[in-house]
Each structure stands twice: as C-alpha cells, then as structure tokens.
Amino acid sequence: MTGPRSRPADAPTPGSGASARPLLRATRAHPAVVLGAVAGLVVVVLAGTMIGAAELGAMAVARELLSGIPGIEVDSGLSERQQAILWQLRLPRVALGALVGAVLAISGAAYQGVFRNPLADPYLLGVAAGAGLGATIAVVYGTGSLAGVVVPVLAFVGALVGVGLTYVLGRAVTGVRSATTLILAGVAVAAFLTAIQTYLQQQNADVLREVWTWILGSLTRASWGQIGLLLPYTAVSVLVILLHRRLLDVLAVGEEEARTLGVRTGQVRLTVIIAASLGTAAAVAVSGLIGFVGIIVPHTVRLLAGTSYRVILPLSIVAGAAFLVLADLLARTVASPAELPIGVVTAFFGAPFFAVVLRTSRRLT
C-alpha cells in the first residue's frame, strides 16, 4: 500500500464509479521494490554460494565460478574435493532453496487469493498431511536401497491424493463455489490422513527420527538430480498461476462481483488450486514440509508493494527464493558444521511475523 496508486488501465472495471472502490490497486510494483527484491536475491545467492561449513574462501569460489563459464580459464586454487563441494553440494543446495522458496511463496499467494483468506498457506487442503503420510509409508515400508527414491514419489502422490480428497469432499457438500467449505473439507482430510500417519509412526517407532526429519523439512541432501525432478512441475505451476494473476485480482473484489463480470469463479479457483498444489507437492516431495514461507513472503510483499496479484505473484517468486536461500544459509552456518532443521529457522522468523499479520489483517483482507 506504500506503492503508487494509479488507475489500472487493464483491470476489469465494473463502471466509471469504481474509482472510489478498493478495486483500485497498483498493478505494477514500484521499480524500487522490484529492484530491491532482485538485488536481495542476488546478494543472498552469492552469500549462500560463498559461505558454508567447508571454508573454500570467497575469492576462490568466485574464481571457480568464473572458470565454470565456457571460454574463461581461471585457476581457482580449489582442490578436486573442494570443487566437488562447490559444484555438487553447495550450488545445488542454493538452487534448490531458491526453487522451493519460489514455488512455496507463489503457491501461498495463490491460495490466499483463491480463498480470500490471509492465513491460507500452500499446505492447506491436505497437501501436507497427504505428503506426510506418503513419506511415512515410504520410510516404513521402503527397504534400504529403495527408500531414497520412493520417499519423494510417495510424498508427491500423497500430496495430490490429499488435495483430491479435499476437493471431492468439498464438492460433495456444496460444489466448489464455497471457499470456506473447501477449507473445512481440507481440515477434515488432514486430520484423517494425519491420524493414519501417526498410527503408522507409532507402530514403527524405530523410524521415528527419519519421519520427523522429513516432516521438519530439509535441504541437506540437495542434488542437481532433485532439481531436475522438481523443475518441470514448478515451471508449469508457476506459469499457470501467473497467467491467472488478473483473474485473482477480480476474485479479490468478491465472489458475486467477479461472477457479475463474467468470471467463471469455480473454474478459476479449481485451476489455480490444481496448479498451486502441483507445485507444492513437487517441492514437498524433495524438501519436506518447510513451513511459513508461503505465508510470510506473500504478506511481506503485500505490505511493501501493494495488494494486486499482478504485483504479489511475481514478487513472491523473487522474495520467496531469497527468503529460503537465506533461511537455509542460516540453517547450515549458525551451528556449523552441524545443521539446524530449516523448519526451525523459517518458523523462528515466521511465528513472530504471524502476529504482525494478525494485527494488520484488517488491511490485508
């Protein structure tokens, strides 16, 4: 709301009298905000690449990165092992953090738009519970050599099953038109799936720690392979959500108003939910349940840059990526060479932020 208010030239306007209504939003972020977000991302990515448990030296890392560019030959002075640390461990971890952060943040923003609820997050609608159940099944029943492969697959499937159940249940009651019904259905589905997961866990107490480590979220075993798995899903998800940015603005005005304008709200909602759930499910599958990103980031963007989804969605991608890269940098350096669970870091910042969101929620809805 600190951004410039200008009449949106391309926004659907219900009439000339609309200029006094809240529909009037800045549809472009202030250049300074965009610049700041991008600069922030660049800075944390560089910091994340330079700093780590292994001390490679910032200059050596810079030279090594330069030497990675075809045509440039620089001797970084890094040993073969140090090169492996940089290229195969640290860089994929930074990249995975950015990717997961981006998709969680934009999914969170999308959910908040679809449900017109500032507390909606990407794990709503049974995504988290489903993924948790899938991962637990994989850990409990997967045997040694298979477990590593099966966990992400089952987590992904579980997340989609969770959303699917929620949708079917919500629709069975009133059709998908009522956002509240869908959220309540999500609560029921999540409770049910979590009950099964807890039961399995209790029956297999020996794998308790593995399950909980996964649930707390972790980027500790990031690899280029994981990024390859994740990229197609996130690309589709982000693209579809971005294509709906204007319709989300219309939905934000109100269900009835949107329908009056000829927006097929049910269809828009369903499409966006599917896209956001797909991206979230893929992210969860490789990184576990990293909380709060999907709430903190969109709300921060909202507070700083404006309430139009044409501003929030693209900026959330940048800010989400920066936030998670930073959180992971803290997770792996604060107690270095030990790791902190990244969920602890995001929640440490997320929980106080929640209070701020609640205090200002009148402005947000």
Partner 1 sequence: MRCNLITYLTSAGVRRRLLTAIGATALLASACAGEDADAPADDVEVEDDDIDDAPDGDDADVDADDGDADDGDAGAEDFPVTVTDARGVDVEIAERPERIVSLSPTHTEILFAIGADDQVIAVDDQSDYPDEAPMTDLSGFEPNIEAIADEDPDLVIAGFDPGEMADGLEGLGIDVLIFDTVGSLEEALDDYEATGRATGHAEAGEQLAADTMDQLEALAEEAPDEPLTYYHELDEFLYTSTSQTFIGEVYGLFGLENIADAADEDGSGFPQLSEEYIVEEDPDLIFLAGAGSSTPDEVADRPGWDTITAVQDGNLIEVDASISSRWGPRIVQFAETVRDAVDDAA
One-letter amino acid for residue 256 of the chain: E
Q: Does the protein bind partner 1 through residue 330 (CB under 8 A)?
A: no
Instruction: Decide: is 194 part of the binding site for partner 1 (CB under 8 A).
Output: no
Return the residue of 24, 246, 336, 349 that touches partner 1, per CB under 8 A: 336
Placement of tokens 């995975």 in the chain: 96
Q: Does 54 bind partner 1 (CB under 8 A)?
A: yes
Taking the complex as a whole, how short is the minimal distance between the CB of residue 48 and partner 1, in angstroms?
12
With CB under 8 A as the contact rule, which of the stretches 121-129, 249-257, 276-284, 337-345 interacts with partner 1?
A: 337-345
Would you say 188 and 195 are in contact if contact means Cβ atoms under 8 Å apart?
Answer: no
Query: Cis omega before residue 337 (within 30°)?
Result: yes
Out of 38, 220, 235, 254, the residue judged to bind partner 1 by CB under 8 A: 220
Smallest distance from partner 1 to CB 60, Å:
13
User: Can residue 228 be called a binding residue for partner 1 (CB under 8 A)?
Assistant: no
Counting contacts by CB under 8 A, is residue 90 touching partner 1?
Answer: yes
- DSSP for 144-192, please give it: HHHHHHHHHHHHHHHHHHHHHHHHHHHHHHH-TT-HHHHHHHHHHHHHH
How open is the CA angle 306-22-355, to the nearest 5 degrees?
Answer: 50
Q: Which residue has the tokens 């991008």?
A: 38
Give the tokens for residue 32: 């300074």
- Answer whether 287's CB lies under 8 Å from 219's CB: yes
User: In this complex, which beta carbon is closest to partner 1, that of residue 170 or of residue 217?
Assistant: 217
Footprint of partner 1 on 135-154 (CB under 8 A): 139, 142-145, 147-148
Residue 75 engages partner 1 in binding (rule: CB under 8 A): no
State which residue, 148 or 175, has the beta carbon closest to partner 1.
Answer: 148
From 59-67, 112-120, 187-195, 333-341, give the range in contact with partner 1 by CB under 8 A: 333-341
CA distance 32 to 305: 10
Q: How far apart are CA 29 and CA 118, in angstroms?
A: 20
Catalog residues that contact partner 1 under the rule CB under 8 A.
52-55, 80-82, 84-85, 87-90, 92, 139, 142-145, 147-148, 202, 205-210, 212-214, 218, 220-221, 223-225, 332, 335-339, 341
